[in-house]
Homo-oligomer: A and B are copies of this chain.
Amino acid sequence: MPRNAFYAQSGGVTAVINASAAGVIETARKHRKQIGKLYAGRNGILGALTEDLIDTSKESPAAIRALKNTPGGAFGSARYKLKGVEKGGHEYERLIEVFKAHDIGYFFYNGGNDSADTCLKVSQISATMGYPIVAVHVPKTVDNDLPITDTCPGFGSVAKYVSTSMMEAVLDVESMARTSTKVFILEVMGRHAGWITAATGLAQQKAGQGPHILLFPEVPWNEEAFLARVEESVKQHGYCAVGASEGIQDAEGRFLSESGLKDAFGHSQLGGVAPMLANLVQSKLKLKQHWAVADYLQRAARHIASKTDLEQSYAVGKAAVEYAVKGMNSVMPTIVRSSSRPYRWKIGVAKLSDVANVEKKMPRDFITPDGFHITAKCRNYLQPLISGEAFPPFENGLPKYVRLKNAAVRKKTQGVWNP
Contact = CB atoms under 8 A, between A and B. Distances in A.
Interface of A: 9, 12-13, 15, 43-44, 46, 70-80, 160, 163-165, 167-169, 171-176, 178-181, 184, 186, 202-203, 205, 259-265, 267, 269-272, 274-276, 278-279, 282-283, 289-297, 299-304, 306, 383-389, 391, 394, 396-399, 401
A262 B265 contact: no
26 contacts: A15-B168, A71-B171, A71-B172, A72-B172, A78-B178, A78-B179, A80-B179, A163-B398, A165-B297, A167-B399, A168-B300, A171-B401, A181-B296, A203-B398, A259-B264, A261-B261, A262-B264, A263-B276, A270-B279, A271-B291, A294-B297, A297-B297, A306-B397, A384-B397, A386-B397, A387-B396
Top 9 nearest A-B pairs (CB, nearest first) are: A72-B171, A73-B175, A386-B397, A292-B295, A260-B264, A168-B300, A172-B300, A43-B178, A387-B397
Contact of A176 (B79, B180, B290, B384): B79
| Interface SS majority for chain A | mixed
Stoichiometry (number of copies):
2
A164 B391 CA distance: 12
A176 B77 CA distance: 5
Nearest to A394: B389
A290 B296 contact: yes
Most chain B Cβ neighbours within 10 Å, of A13, A205, A293: A293
A270 B278 contact: yes
Nearest to A12: B176
Contacts of A297: 165, 168-169, 186, 292, 294, 297
Given A77-B176, A171-B71, A296-B184, A164 B398 contact: yes
A341 to B, nearest CB: 11
Contacts of A269: 261, 263, 269, 275, 279
Contacts of A71: 168, 171-172
Nearest to A293: B293
Nearest to A202: B398
B282 A165 contact: no
A399 B296 CA distance: 22
Contact of A296 (B13, B260, B292, B299): B292
A304 B386 CA distance: 17
A386 B401 contact: no
B290 A292 contact: no
Contacts of A294: 292, 294, 297
Contact of A13 (B176, B293, B386): B176
Given A175-B74, A386-B398, A283 B267 contact: yes
Given A79-B176, A303-B304, 13 more contacts: A70-B171, A73-B172, A163-B397, A168-B300, A259-B264, A262-B263, A270-B289, A274-B293, A290-B295, A294-B297, A306-B397, A386-B398, A389-B391
A265 B292 contact: no
A278 B270 CA distance: 8
A291 B291 CA distance: 13
A81 to B, nearest CB: 10
Nearest to A289: B270
